[in-house]
């Protein structure tokens, strides 16, 4: 059995909204070849022109998610998506694939992730600061999420 997780497409800064028609054809082709929605497909835009309601509606139409990333030149806005998953990419606090995120920053994202998971979404988090502390940041984020889960479980038991 093949386990399919997520298929990620990165649209570089030069891919402007002028490519909208080609983009829609790509989305249609992707879904036509995945009729059973066995892939979670995510799109990462590196050009702010794509952050528009008509594009969000198009992604929702084809059940394709948006990558939330932190590159300052094209950081993705936090806009709710109808996709059943969220995909986060962390490129490093200085956006140069280096460095380490602060525990406060990771705690903030742990809260977002926990909320999405409570809504039933699958969350993918990719630390691309591989020249920095990607593994330590991932471990910290996982520990923070485990703490939130324990708190939720405890509060649920107390309410009973």
* pLDDT tens digits for range 22-47: 999 999 999 999 888 888 999 999 99
Question: pLDDT tens for residues 98-148?
Answer: 999 999 999 999 999 999 999 999 999 999 999 899 999 999 999 999 999
Residues 26 and 66 in one domain: yes
Residues 59 and 89 in one domain: no
Q: Total domain count for the chain?
A: 2
Rounded CA-CA distance 160/6 in Å is 37
Does 59 lie in the same domain as 93?
no
Q: Which of 37, 55, 76 is the last residue of a domain?
A: 76
How confident is the model over 45-72, as pLDDT tens digits? 999 999 999 999 999 999 999 999 999 8
The pLDDT score that the predictor gives to residue 37 is 81
- Do both 3 and 49 map to the same domain? yes
Domain stop point among 76, 92, 118: 76
Q: 67 with 42: CB under 8 angstroms? A: yes
Helix (H) or strand (E) holding 70: none
In which domain, by residue range, is 139 found?
A: 84-160
- Give the pLDDT confidence score for residue 94 in this predicted structure: 85
**Residue whose C-alpha is closest to residue 110's, from 99, 120, 123:** 123
- The C-alpha atoms of residue 66 and residue 53 are separated, in whole angstroms, by 13
Contact 85, 121 (CB under 8 A): yes
Best CA proximity match to 57, nearest among 29, 80, 87, 25:
80
Picking from 53, 81, 52, the residue whose alpha carbon sits closest to that of residue 66 is 81
Residues 96 and 141 in one domain: yes
On whether both 158 and 90 belong to a single domain, the answer is yes
Same domain, 36 and 89: no
Distance CA 92, CA 154 (A): 34
């Amino acid at each position: 059995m093949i386990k399919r997780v997520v298929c990620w497409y990165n649209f570089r800064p030069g891919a402007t909204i002028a490519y909208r028609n080609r983009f829609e054809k790509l989305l249609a082709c992707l879904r036509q070849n995945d009729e059973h929605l066995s892939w979670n497909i995510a799109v990462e835009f590196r050009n702010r022109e794509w952050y528009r309601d008509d594009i969000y509606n198009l992604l929702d139409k084809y059940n394709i998610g948006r990558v939330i990333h932190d590159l300052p030149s094209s950081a993705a806005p936090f806009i709710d998506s109808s996709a059943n998953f969220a995909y986060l990419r962390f490129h490093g606090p200085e956006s140069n694939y280096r460095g380490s995120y602060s525990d406060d920053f990771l705690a903030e994202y742990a809260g977002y992730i926990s909320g999405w998971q409570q809504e039933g979404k699958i969350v993918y988090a990719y630390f691309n600061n591989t020249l920095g502390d990607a593994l330590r940041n991932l471990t910290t984020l996982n520990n923070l999420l485990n703490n939130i889960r324990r708190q939720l479980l405890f509060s649920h038991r107390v309410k009973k």
